[in-house]
Amino acid sequence: MTTLFYALGVLIFAVGILASIGLHELGHMIPAKKFGGKVTQYFVGFGPTVWSKQVGETECGVKAIPLGGYVKIVGMLPPGAAQLADEVTTDAEGNQVVKVRKSNTGLFTQLISDARAAEWETIGPEDSERLFYKMVWWKKVIVMAGGPTVNILIAFTLFWIVFGTYGQRSIEPDAGRPVIDEVSQCVIPYVDNRTTCTSSDPISPAAEAGLRPGDVVTTFNGTPIADWDQLRTLIRGNSDGDAVIGYERDGRQLTGTANTTVEARPTSQTDQTLRQVGFLGVTPTTHTQIQTGGPLYTLDQMGTMTKQSVQALATLPVKVWGVAEAIAGVKDRAVDSPVSIVGGSRMAGETVSDAGFPLAEKAVFLMLLLAGFNLFIGLFNFIPLLPLDGGHIAGALWEAIRRGFARLRGRPDPGYVDVARLLPIAYCVAGVLLVMGVVLIVGDLVVPIHIES
């Protein structure tokens, strides 16, 4: 039964991701057609075609590798100046066809020329007014922004459902002077994916001071303690200095001494940036606080998530390198390392099959997991680099700026921005993304992150 539930969790997550991919591509295709563009293909997945059906002028279908999707919009690349000389010819039956003359004056030039040739082999004279590169710049922006915007809207909808019904739940310390709930017996680095002590781990300052669960902390280095937040601030600011801890146990006033160690710990519950701070090794008794809200609350929370996601994107290469080190056995995998769709599927499977999670929490976790993936994918695609959607958006905006300046200065129209010239960069970016994707997939298979109930 556990295996069946695990498979069910994986299936639900996989279907959710495939649906998100399909909607992302619809976000490109619908406005492209609305603006008169020609879309010849709409596929979810890559590789060999599993199923397809011709719907009007668009072939719609599913491919074997469910790691993305694409729509083929005709005329993404404008013809090069050298190719226009032989652009239109006539075949044996008297029909006009577009012929692109290739160039082979260098590796990058050849790559660009081949890409143009492949693009224009499927374009006929009847398509001349339906080419993407000829669209007004703002239409290009809408078409290319449509996909990632859909992902962000999916994330908003899922977050709104969760926040409006189940609520956002956080663990908060009990009010008043902190009552110790747990005492760490050793100091385990935060980035280590484990909870048990080893012989090499140093004893924690709290254990050294003789603290036990149930003790009430009353003073820290002579300062009376009113609540956990105050104690936490004092501990973190003490670095590796001496600590004299006053506490109450069974009605008796006792004192313990220790030397707080310095550890890399999250800045706060909402900011997971690691900072070197003082560490004692105690956790207070807590209660669950529930916060519900509507669209405005959801937008506010997504604003915080967006900030965190942008920070995560900035450190993504470093964190992927950390996963590679974990695969090689150099160090343990960090609990906050990124995961691939494979890793997300494993988390979904483990959550659904774990008897320790109530049914409602399983459903909420799956929705939050899908929402988080959609938010990250949406933001990631807005990065202004080809082959990402943001690269095409940046090209359209640059075209608008360049033409606007030309009009203001009374100069000739500079024409369309030739994104084909950036293809060498696009190939490099695609190569880097492919390598990072493979590393994360292998990492999720070899050193996966597990969900604990």
Range with top average pLDDT, 108-112, 194-198, 222-226: 222-226
Higher pLDDT, 143 or 238: 143
Phi-psi region of 239 (alpha: psi -120 to 50; beta: other; left: phi over 0): left
- CA-to-CA distance for 200 and 215, rounded, in angstroms? 28
126 as an active site residue: the answer is no
- What distance lies between CA 299 and its chain's CA centroid? 18
Mean pLDDT score of the chain: 86
Amino acid at 128: S
For residue 446, is pLDDT > 80? yes
pLDDT at 311: 87
- Pick from 251, 358, 415, 354: nearest CA to 3: 354
Nearest to 158 by CA among 312, 335, 13: 13
CA torsion sign for 60, 65, 70, 76 is negative
Residue 340 has pLDDT above 50, yes or no: yes
Burial of 293 (0-12, 13-18, 19+ CB in 10 A): middle
Mean pLDDT across 213-228 = 92
Residues 6+ apart with CB under 8 A from 125: 88, 96, 97, 98
Q: Is the dihedral of CA 336, 338, 343, 348 positive or negative?
A: positive
Higher pLDDT: 140 or 85? It is: 140
- Rg over alpha carbons for the chain, rounded to the nearest Å, is 28
- Give the pLDDT score at 431: 92
Asked whether 218 and 247 are in contact (CB, 8 A), the reply is yes
What is residue 249's three-state secondary structure?
strand
pLDDT at 452: 61
* pLDDT score of 359: 87
Q: What is the pLDDT of residue 266?
A: 73
Contact 133, 77 (CB under 8 A): yes
Report the C-alpha dihedral over residues 6, 11, 17, 18, rounded to 10 degrees: 160
284-329 pLDDT, tens digit per residue, is 999 888 889 999 999 999 999 999 889 888 889 999 999 999 999 8
Exposure string of 308-330, with b = 16+ CB inside 10 Å and e = fewer, is ebeebeeeeeebbebbbbbbeee
Is 127's pLDDT higher than 90? no
Q: How confident is the model at residue 101 (pLDDT cuts 50, 70, 90)?
A: very low
Tell me which of 25, 119, 208, 263 is the catalytic residue. 25
**What pLDDT band is residue 36 in, cutting at 50, 70 and 90?**
very high
The residue-averaged pLDDT of 380-387 equals 93
Token look-up 């994918």 returns 377
List domains and CATH numbers for the chain.
1-38+74-78+131-167+293-453 (no CATH), 173-289 (2.30.42.10)
Contacts 24+ apart (CB under 8 A), 435-441: 436/316, 436/317, 436/320, 437/67, 437/340, 439/320, 439/323, 439/324, 439/327, 440/320, 440/323, 440/338, 440/339, 440/340, 440/342, 440/343, 441/340, 441/341, 441/342
